[in-house]
Amino acid sequence: MTREQRQTMTRITHETPPVRLDWRHHLTETTGILIAVILGLMLILSLVEPRFLAAQNLANLLRSASILAIISAGQMFVIIVRGFDLSVGATMAMVSVVTAMVMANVPEGTATSLTILYGVGAGFAAGAAVGLVNGLCVAYLKVHSFMVTLGTSSIVVGLALYLTNGIPVYGMPRGFSSEFGRAIWGGLPSAFYIGAGLALLFWVIQNLTTVGKYIYAVGGNFKSAVFSGLSANRYLVMAYVISGLTAALASILLTAQIGSGQGSIGGVLTFQSIAVAIIGGVSLQGGVGKIENVCLAALFLQLLTNAMELLRIQSQLQAVILGLIVILVAANDIRKTRSV
């Protein structure tokens, strides 16, 4: 039967119009709270500690926040599909080492741009490979992701250290480190532009494409997604590959900034990325999470770190505070889902 036939038979009874939503609806509760907290924190900091407003401090802050946002964006996709990626730190170590080694070992006389291209390409390949292994294990072994990623992170860090014997890898072209990694373009650090571009890309994916919808669907209710005819496992794996790729991108930016490939990079970033995602309202129950809130949460966390540095709070105590924040936000997440 054709659609036309059907329509002629249709008696329009009463059509219910869509609920009218204005722009405010699109800003969730989380967005509002985060913006308020960020502005408040900035205000207090600028009053209490004038060094906060120094151009150098702001540039560093923005660079670190951008890198954190990039990793957390990948973590967000994994949490949306009800997983956790504990291997992002390890992946960063691996990518850093691989990128630096490739750049340091290209044949003499290769053009700088090609050298960078090879290094960056190898880095992304390494990141995607880790993500793929994680994704395949989670999708087909059906084990909780944190066990799988704990295992792969041990393997990947071991590999990164084995390849370098734990010694930093030097010899990257200046065009990569000082002219890109530490560069300030138009008053803003290079990493910021890349982070903003990535955020825009993910916003488009989440809001305007089927891939974004499918990832939400797989996380919201896996069985329903299968019943609806989606190749659910494909989107599950995709989330982990995205996380591997974002970890790679963050690592490349960080490696460029430091100027050497290091197997010890990314240690605390795994936990920070999870913290950012959770603070940014990505639900631990799956199926919920927006890139814009994750970016705001990254900025918030970096501001907090910056504040503690400026106020000379021991860096180890930051771990304690972060741990508490994550548990409290998780408790709030539980409360929200229960009250529905």
**Stretch 45-104 residues interacting with other proteins (CB under 8 A):** 84
Q: Between 3 and 47, whose beta carbon lies closer to other proteins?
A: 3
144 contributes a contact to other proteins by CB under 8 A: yes
Q: Is 136 in the site for other proteins (CB under 8 A)?
A: no
The kind and range of the H/E element at 185 are: strand 184-185
Distance CA 34, CA 72 (A): 16
Q: Is 225 in the site for other proteins (CB under 8 A)?
A: yes
Contacts of 237 (CB under 8 A, 6+ apart): 132, 135, 136, 138, 139
Contact 277, 294 (CB under 8 A): yes
Rule CB under 8 A: choose which of 23, 186, 229, 312 binds other proteins. Answer: 229
Tell me 180's DSSP state.
I
| Residue from 171, 174, 224, 311 binding other proteins (CB under 8 A) | 224
Q: Residue type for 199, please?
A: A
Q: DSSP secondary-structure letter at 179?
A: I
Report the alpha-carbon distance of residue 182 to residue 60 in Å, rounded: 10
Residue 105 interacting with other proteins (CB under 8 A): no
Number of residues that bind other proteins (CB under 8 A): 80
DSSP state of 184: E
Residue 26 sits in the site that holds other proteins (CB under 8 A): no
For other proteins, which residue of 47, 56, 109, 314 counts as binding (CB under 8 A)? 314
Give me the 250-279 binding string for other proteins, x by CB under 8 A, dash otherwise: ---------------------x--x-----
Smallest gap from Cβ 257 to other proteins, in A, equals 24
Cβ neighbours, 10 Å, residue 158? 14
Which residue stretch of 50-58, 176-184, 204-212, 246-254 sits at the interface with other proteins (rule: CB under 8 A)? 204-212
Structure tokens at 338: 């229960």
Name the residue nearer to other proteins (CB basis): 266 or 287: 287
